[in-house]
Structure 1
Amino acid sequence: MIEGGSGATAPYTDAARARLVMAYEACELADLARAFVPIGEHELNPDGTNRWPGTVLADAARVVGAAQRFFEAAAVFERMGGADWQVIGDVVEVSARTAQVRFAMAETAFRELLSPERGPAAGEAGRLRAYMTREPLEVALDLDDWVLRHEDGDSGLGTTPVSGGLVRRGPRRRT
Structure 2
Amino acid sequence: MSDSDSVTTASYTDAARARLVLAYEACELSDLARAFVPIREHELNPDGTIPTPGGLLADAAQVVAAAQRFFEAAAVFERVGGADWQVIGDALAVSARTVHVRFATAEAAFRELLSSERGSVEGGAGRLRAYMAREPWEVAGDLDDWVLRHDDGDSDLGTTPVSGGLVPRDHVPHSSPAASRR
User: Do both proteins adopt the same fold according to a TM-score greater than 0.5, normalized to the shorter chain?
Assistant: yes
Distance change >3 Å, CA 55–CA 7, structure 1 → 2: closer
Deviation at 1:119, TM superposition (A): 3.9
* % identical aligned pairs: 77
Question: How big is the alpha-carbon RMSD for the aligned residues of Structure 1 and Structure 2?
Answer: 2.1
* CA–CA separation in structure 2 for the residues paired with 1:111 and 1:6: 21
- Distance 1:7-1:23 versus aligned 2 partners, 3 A rule: closer
Distance 1:166 1:2 in 2: 20
Seen in structure 2, the aligned counterparts of structure 1 residues 38 and 109 have a Cα distance that, compared at 3 Å, is same
> Does the Cα contact within 8 Å between 1:112 and 1:118 map onto a contact in 2?
no
CA distance in 2, matches of 1:142, 1:95: 37
In structure 2, C-alpha distance between the alignment counterparts of 1:144 and 1:156, rounded to whole Å: 13
* AA at the equivalent of 1:133: A
TM-score of the pair, normalised by structure 1: 0.92
Gaps of 5+ in 1: none
1:56 is matched with which residue?
A: 56
Match of 2:180 in 1: none
1:121-171 per-position Cα deviation (integer Å, ceiling 9, x unaligned): 111110100100110000000000000000112331000000000001017
Give the residue type in structure 2 aligned to 1:31. Answer: D
- The answer on 1:148 being equivalent to 2:148 is yes
CA change 1:12–1:2 in 2 (3 A) is: farther
SS at match of 1:98: helix
Map 1:1-175; keep pairs closer than 5 Å: 8-10=7-9, 11-117=11-117, 119-170=119-170
CA-CA distance at 1:8 after TM superposition: 2.3
**In structure 2, C-alpha distance between the alignment counterparts of 1:33 and 1:153, rounded to whole Å:** 21
The offset of 1:9, in angstroms, is 3.0
Q: Which runs of 5+ in 2 are unaligned?
A: 173-182
Q: Which has the higher contact order (CA 8 A, sep 6+)?
A: 2
Look up the SS of the partner of 2:170 in the other structure: coil
More helix by share: 2
How many aligned residue pairs are there? 172
Q: Which moved more, 1:109-118 or 1:121-130?
A: 109-118
Please say if residues 140 and 162 of structure 1, whose CA atoms lie closer than 8 Å, have aligned partners that are also in contact.
yes
Determine helix, strand or coil for the equivalent of 1:145.
Answer: helix
Task: Report the TM-score, using the length of structure 2 for normalisation.
Answer: 0.88
Distance 1:154 1:141 in 2: 21
